Amino acid sequence: GALAAVGPRHAPPGTVPQPFCGDVARHDKPDALQSKVNGPYQPISSRALADRVRRVALGLAELGVKAGDRIAIFSENRPEWAITDFACVTHGFTDVPLYPNLPPEQAAYITRDSGAVAIVVSDAEQAAKSAKVRGGGRAVTTDAQSGPGRCAGGDRQGRDHRRDAGQ
């Protein structure tokens, strides 16, 4: 069989978010992601994906997250994980992925060691684990039961932030 060409790619230099933003603009796919909703998979279009990414990033910024800040993602593999990851990449946040099956003590160590200023969690179970992890820090949940993008706790000053961060 033929071997792939070796050598430099002939793409202009750019930034990390450019491929995501460029692909959304070039490929208006009706099913960029799939999400299982009450059994069957439902498509998420490229445009809806880009809109949700923007809204999550703006919601995090409204909570005080700034470019260069670290955001822990405590979630199973699901569209909201990718959306949060894309929000981080496109807005200069650094994501800190946490395996969803980590015990709270390990998640706490990784979160503290990374300097994460907020934790995005997938559901009530991860929110409960993150309560032990964050010690009063911020957590945002993507669970529909809690309300999309709702904060799961107060910030370090004890204020309760309940803002829509992305659905």
Give 17-62 pLDDT, tens digit per residue. Answer: 777 777 777 888 899 889 888 889 999 999 999 999 999 999 999 9
pLDDT for position 55: 93
pLDDT for position 159: 31
pLDDT for position 23: 77
18 token code pair: 């450019």
Residues with pLDDT less than 70, the chain: 1-14, 16, 132-167
pLDDT for position 11: 60
pLDDT for position 124: 81
CA–CA–CA angle 44, 48, 54 (5° rounding): 130
Strands 33-36 and 150-151: unpaired
pLDDT for position 10: 62
Instruction: Please give the Cα distance from 116 to 67 (Å, whole number).
Output: 12
pLDDT for position 58: 93
Taking the model in full, what pTM does it have? 0.73
Matching residue, tokens 């032990």: 132
Region of 133 on the Ramachandran plot (φ > 0 left; ψ -120 to 50 alpha; else beta):
alpha
